[in-house]
Structure 1
Amino acid sequence: MFCKSVIEAIDPPKRSITWKAIEGHLLELYNSFTIITSCEHWITITLVYEKKTEDTPEPLAFLDYFIGLTKDVEGHLLKK
C-alpha cells in the first residue's frame, strides 16, 4: 500500500504528532485518514478515519503494522 502524508500538527507539551493522509491507497477506501501519536507516560497511537461506505473494512493491516513496529522498538530498547 502507498500513502503520502503530511504532518498536520505538532504539540510539544503533549509530545504529540498528527499525520494526515493526502494521497494513496488509503484514500480509495476512506474519505479521511489521520494518525495521532502521543508519548506522555506511554505511547498512544490513534487512527481516525471515515469510511467511504459501510462495507469498507476496518484498517486492521495498519493496526498490525503498528503492533509490529512497537515490538521492534521495544526489542531494540530492551537490548543491553
Structure 2
Amino acid sequence: MGVLGKMEVELDIKSSGDVFHELFGNKPHHISNITPHKIHSCDVHEGEFGKPNSVIFWNYSVDGEKCEAKVVVEAIDEKSKLVRFKVIEGSILKEYKSFVVTLEVVDRGAITAVKWAVEFEKFEDFGPYPVKLMDFIIGMTRDIEAHHLNE
C-alpha cells in the first residue's frame, strides 16, 4: 500500500468567493478564457456542467508541461460552496494511485478565502508530493481573482 496524503492551502481573496464557486461548480469551461496559459480547455464528456456525477475533461499546463485530466464531479454543494473532483484518468495518475481536488469558499465575515485541498495516494512511500500542482492551483486562483477585480 502506498502513502495516503492531503495538502491544503487557504488563500484570502479580495474578490467574491461566489465567483470561484460558480466558476468551478457551474462554468468550469470559462476558466480557460481567464487563465489560458494554465487551463487550455475544459469540456464535458458525460452529463452537464454544474451537475454532480458529470465527467469533465481538462487540458492544462504545469511548469510548461501539457497535462490532461478526466474527472468526475463528486460534489457541488451550494450551501457550503464546495466543489470536489475525482481524477479518473490523466497525467496525474501516472504519479498517484488516486487524486481528489476540493475547492471550498470560506466566509469569515470581513475576509473571504478559497480553500483548496488535494487528497492523494502515492504508489510507494517515496516519490514526489504534489507541490507543483499546488503551486499551479495557487497561481490559477490569483489569476482568477485578478481577472475579476479588473472587471
With the length of structure 1 as denominator, give the TM-score of the two structures.
0.88
- Distance in structure 2 (CA, Å) of the matches to 1:61 and 1:3: 16
Instruction: Give the AA of the match of 1:14.
Output: S
1:74: how far off? 2.1
1:78: how far off? 2.5
Residue in 1 aligned with 2:137? 66
Residues 37-56 of structure 1 correspond to what in structure 2 (within 5 A)?
Answer: 37-41=103-107, 42-56=113-127
Counterpart secondary structure, 1:22: strand
Residue in 2 aligned with 1:4? 70
> Is 1:16 matched with 2:87?
no
1:3: how far off? 1.4
Residue in 1 aligned with 2:95? 29
Deviations 1:10-48 (A, max 9, x none): 122111011000001211211110000011312111001
Q: Once superposed, which parts of structure 1, at least 4 consecutive aligned residues long, lie more than 6 Å away?
A: none
Percentage of identical aligned residues: 32
Counterpart secondary structure, 1:77: helix
1:2: how far off? 1.9
Instruction: Give the AA of the match of 2:125.
Output: E
* Structure 1 unpaired stretches of 5+: none
The count of residues paired between Structure 1 and Structure 2 equals: 80
The higher relative CO (CA closer than 8 Å, separation ≥ 6) is in: 2
Counterpart secondary structure, 2:125: coil
RMSD of Structure 2 on Structure 1 (CA): 1.4
Q: Which has the higher helix share?
A: 1
Counterpart secondary structure, 2:124: coil
Larger Rg: 2
